[in-house]
Amino acid sequence: MARVAGRDRPPVLSISYLYRKIFNMDIVDPLAQAYAERYSSPENPLLRTIAAYTQANHSEAQMLSGHLQGQFLEMMSKLIRPRRVLEIGTFMGYSAICLAAGLAVDGQLHTIELREADADRAATYFRQANYQDRIILHRGNALEIIPALQEDWDLVFIDADKVNYGEYYKLVYPRVRAGGLIIADNVLFHGQVLEKEVTGKSARGIQAFNELIAEDDTVERVMLTVRDGLLFIRKK
């Protein structure tokens, strides 16, 4: 991957981060989030079931893509009509089901999950969605599984451990077709990347990833302030 000359990190409006911390506000105003969900297509019954179960039973429920982001991912997939999709980080299967809705007639989605309990739950939901033959669930370490997948990807969704985002990108990039799309989640990482000095391990991983993409002249990119930040990366 070719690189352009290094650049200074863009200035940070630290006052916005302090305001959010002091007043315990989300990056996206909850009223704006609710308004956007109200005027977006509704969740289907299975997605509502997944969301409700996760909120009630999972200690990391905030990891779920949720209504608005899920609809966004589904619409992007329907616009692209991908034959091959790779998702790194299955969690409860919510985002995989959204992305699978746009698959081409002969399309498949491969998704990778490290935690067995989450993979078991996701597999149950894939069967309920009648996607058991179109969503291929891999269990284990994505860094080991990705090199063994001999596919050319139309769409990749990265939403796993933040420290390894850069490594995931380097692994999938050669197998993404020209014009293919990589979407990375949590690129604002709860606002921690807005700090003057990024200190948390995961936040540092995200910051390093964002800088990696910013220096890659073989892609086009746009960062969106949807939920916890989405970075769209199109391979030229």
For the chain, the structural domain boundaries read: 14-235
Domain 14-235 has CATH 3.90.550.10: no
Sign of CA dihedral 34, 127, 63, 52: positive
pLDDT at residue 4 greater than cutoff 70: no
- pLDDT of the residue at 152: 98
Strands of the sheet containing 135-139, edge to edge, are 135-139, 108-113, 84-88, 153-158, 176-185, 230-235, 219-224
- Alpha carbon dihedral 50, 52, 58, 60, in 10-degree steps, equals 90
User: Strand 176-185 to strand 230-235: parallel, antiparallel, or no bridges (unpaired)?
Assistant: antiparallel
Long-range interactions of 121-129: CB distance < 8 A, separation 24+: 121/53, 121/92, 121/93, 122/90, 122/91, 122/92, 122/93, 122/96, 123/93, 125/46, 125/50, 125/92, 125/93, 125/94, 125/97, 126/93, 126/96, 126/97, 128/46, 129/46, 129/97, 129/100
Q: Which residue has the tokens 């893509």?
A: 65
Spatial neighbors of 112 by CB under 8 A, at least 6 apart, are: 86, 87, 88, 89, 90, 138, 139, 140, 142, 145, 146, 160
Nearest to 138 by CA among 84, 89, 203, 193: 89
pLDDT at residue 223 greater than cutoff 90: yes
C-alpha to C-alpha distance for 68 and 189, rounded to whole angstroms: 17
- pLDDT of the residue at 135: 98
C-alpha to C-alpha distance for 176 and 59, rounded to whole angstroms: 34
Give the pLDDT band (50/70/90) at residue 219. very high
C-alpha to C-alpha distance for 188 and 225, rounded to whole angstroms: 8
For the chain, the C-alpha Rg in angstroms (whole number) is 17
pTM surpassing 0.75? yes
C-alpha to C-alpha distance for 63 and 44, rounded to whole angstroms: 19
pLDDT at residue 214 greater than cutoff 90: yes
pLDDT at residue 13 greater than cutoff 90: no
- Looking at the chain, the whole-number percentage of residues with pLDDT higher than 90 is 84
- pLDDT of the residue at 5: 45
Give the pLDDT band (50/70/90) at residue 30. confident
C-alpha to C-alpha distance for 72 and 202, rounded to whole angstroms: 25
Average pLDDT on 40-55 reads 96
pLDDT, tens digit, 9 for 90 and up, residues 131-186: 999 999 999 999 999 999 999 999 999 999 999 999 999 999 999 999 999 999 99
- pLDDT of the residue at 26: 66
The residues that bridge with 136 in the sheet, in sequence order, are: 110
Q: Which two tokens stand for residue 218?
A: 């073989």
pLDDT at residue 6 greater than cutoff 60: no
